[in-house]
Amino acid sequence: MAKITYIEFDGTRHEVDVASGLNVMEGAVKNLIPGIDADCGGACACATCHVYVDPDWQEKTGTPGEMELSMLDFAEDVQKTSRLSCQIEVDDTLDGLIIRLPETQG
């Protein structure tokens, strides 16, 4: 279990508990946080769950895999902290994680 804060583009904050084993995309969808479409349901096939990981959390969330990196290359407004949230698995070490959402999903 980890407490994750999702911050919408307009600044709205959502602090929710996400069970270990789920991914960061599912944490948002299950808690009805707007801004993540996740059309493919987490198969790393659509690039509509793009988020920014707070820089302090980048190390703990790991580095994107090859497939994810190539998908991100085509998302909009990509930054150094960009990730596909379906590819970040939640565990206890992510307690306190801060995720920012982009203005639109590509």
Partner 1 sequence: MASGDQAQGEAQETYIVIGAGHAAGQAAVTLRSKGFKGRLILIGEESYAPYQRPALSKAFLSGDLALDRLYFKPPDYYAKNDIELLLDTTVTQLDRNRKTVTLDDGRVISYDKALLTTGSRIRAIPLPGVDLPGVLYLRTIDDVEGIRAYCTKGAKIVIVGGGYIGLEVAASTKKLGLDVTVLEAESRVMARAVGREVSDFFESLHAEEGVTIKTGQAVSALEGVGKLERVVCADGSVWQADIAVIGVGIVPNQELAREAGLAVDNGIVVDTSCRTQDPDIFAAGDCTNHPNGVYGRRLRLESVHNALEQAKTAAAAMCGILTEYNQVPWFWSDQYDVKLQIAGLSQGYDQIVLRGDPSARKFAAFYLKEGVLIATDAINAVPEYMVSRKLIAAHARIAPERLADMSIPMKSMAE
Binding site for partner 1 (CB under 8 A): 22, 26, 29-32, 39-41, 43-47, 67, 70-71, 73-74
Residue 80: CB minimum distance to partner 1, A:
19
For residues 79 and 52, the answer to whether their CB atoms sit within 8 Å is yes
Residue 55: CB minimum distance to partner 1, A:
25
Q: Which residue's CB is nearer to partner 1, number 73 or number 103?
A: 73
Q: Where in the chain does DSSP place strands (E)?
A: 2-7, 13-18, 50-53, 82-84, 98-100
Tokens representing 52?
């920014």
Q: Which residue's CB is nearer to partner 1, number 73 or number 77?
A: 73
